Amino acid sequence: MDQKFWLGKRILVTGGTGLLGSCLVGQLVGSGAEVTILSFDRQGKSKVFTDGLEDKINIVYGDVSDYKLVSSLLGFYKVNFIFHLAARAVVVDGQQSPLDVFETNIRGTWNLLEAARSNKSSLESIVVASSEKSYGSQNVQFYDENLPLLGRYPYDVSKSCADLIGLSFFSTYSLPVAIARFSNIFGPGDQNFSRLVPGTIQSLLKNEAPVIKSDGKSIKSLLYVKDAVEGLLLLAENKQSSSGQAFNFAAKETFSVKQIVEKIISTFGSNLEPVVKAETISEHYTPLLSSRKAESSLNWSPKYNLIDGLEEAIPWYREHFGETASFLPGSSDYPIHPIKTTTIEGKPLSVSDLPVVLFCGGSGARLREETHNKPKPMVDVGGKPLLWHVIKIYRHYGFRKFILTLGHKGEYVKEYFSKDSSLSDCDINMVDTGESTPTGGRLLKCAQYIDTDLFMCNYGDGVSDLNVLDVLESHRRQSGLVGTITGVRVPHKWGIISFSQDGKLKSYSKGHLMNEPINAGFMVFSRQFLEYLDLNMMVEDPFNRLGSEGKLAVHFHNGYFFAVDTYRDLEELNQTWENKPPWKVWLD
């Protein structure tokens, strides 16, 4: 790697939080490059986050198969180099869900390349990461780059197609595309525990004997992730000679599956023995790549053998998962789902960019026992303000920008959230909107802080097990909408009586659901909604007009919702908190 070459270069890495992507990002950041990553979700234990790279790069959460997002991203950042690593990379995924694999691996590739063709004024090189699987099954000992691409199974076909698409963009449009075909990659940061290396380490950390479902005789070549990254960088640095070509990158060593497991056990320092069940058929073929072309043309060769790589990888798994870890991929945060076309001045947005306006200026007249010295949303639930619970719901789904509309006892809100360290990764703006301003007026007074086409809105006094991303997606699926509100059916708070014609009671019951849904307060609006308001309006005052214009939709939630209006409500919510509260979707 030529570190001087990368200084100040503007780089896009798709799939930047994955095993290969996070290692590549670390190398580029260390060389002074300006790195942007496109990632479908947030993997909390990705090396991007465990190595503290998050604040040194631009992160856009989105789907590479979304052309508008990718195109606007390339246009905004004026990218010099693209490393296209985003893919569904598990073979079994292709067999179980071929459409998902084709969508990401094939459509995602042509979307990226077409977007690059339309934004190529600053572009120097595109490196597309591929796999040994693109060759399919052929009756040769070693696969070199002169062989045809004969993928037959869904994942293999997706890689064959992606490679051919990349080369076609070079041949047809002179787009500087190079293909990197790798053997199996391993290393720290791989959170897919269905794979051989991380899966074996998982078992050892749990003090369980690793299980080999096959006969263990299949031969594999395992390439350490840093050697793979070196191959990617060399292709980009040698863009003049590498464009329009494919290069194989593989380790020099080969081992049987059983031998690999035994070496992991030995390096880990365990006395456990692998259990060979021989109950499944091995993969359809065992490709062995020849790296001679990369060795001669790029002066590339692997620097790590299997043991070297394991000695770096195993301590990382010990540190970040530990002996008693649950081994669920990701962090306590819910994956941050993409917002496909929302922008600020042309910059693509993720959910974390969308503001959430929370009303917290009301006096709560029916809760005077608690609200004489604090606003209604600050009443205590389980030792925390009700508003804190609402923020945690949104935060769990990836939202990080919050606007609090202060009114009654606003200083109480300011004092609390200025000291609460549990929301330190959130951007919380507190806006004084007046003691008795209606909610619509409060929203208008926050308009300067709403800098996106869409924003979320909530009354701040109710909790739910609703996935708020579903409301957002429901809104986005319909064109021409100004807003979407969430409808829920709630139990009657009063007893329901049934009586005969002569006035005698037939039945009395409590807890029946109301026939008509109510507005749960989990809302999404476009900025156009502000044009329907004035300072003397409640936020719901324009709803009938919007409904008559066909611009307001309802997302129905058939799950838990509870709002606090009275002291009895507050008591009930606190009781629920003590026994598996349905709205506590966050894990920390």
d(CA 80, CA 68): 19
Note whether 586 and 399 are within 8 A (CB).
no
Q: Per DSSP, which regions of 536-586 are E strands? A: 552-556, 561-563
d(CA 86, CA 126): 13
Note whether 53 and 21 are within 8 A (CB).
no
Q: Which of 143, 155, 224, 317 is catalytic?
A: 155
- Long-range CB contacts (within 8 A, 24+) of 76-80: 76/346, 76/347, 76/348, 77/10, 77/12, 77/36, 78/10, 78/121, 78/122, 79/10, 79/11, 79/12, 79/36, 79/119, 79/122, 79/123, 80/9, 80/10, 80/11, 80/122, 80/123, 80/124, 80/125
Helix (H, G, I), strand (E, B) or coil at 330: coil
Any catalytic annotation for residue 173? no
State the residue for tokens 């359809």: 284
What lies within 8 Å, CB to CB, of 415 at 6+ separation is none
The DSSP line for 92-132 is: HHHHH-HHHHHIIIIIHHHHHHHHHHHT-TT--EEEEEEEG
- Give the residue numbers annotated as catalytic, written as ranges: 155
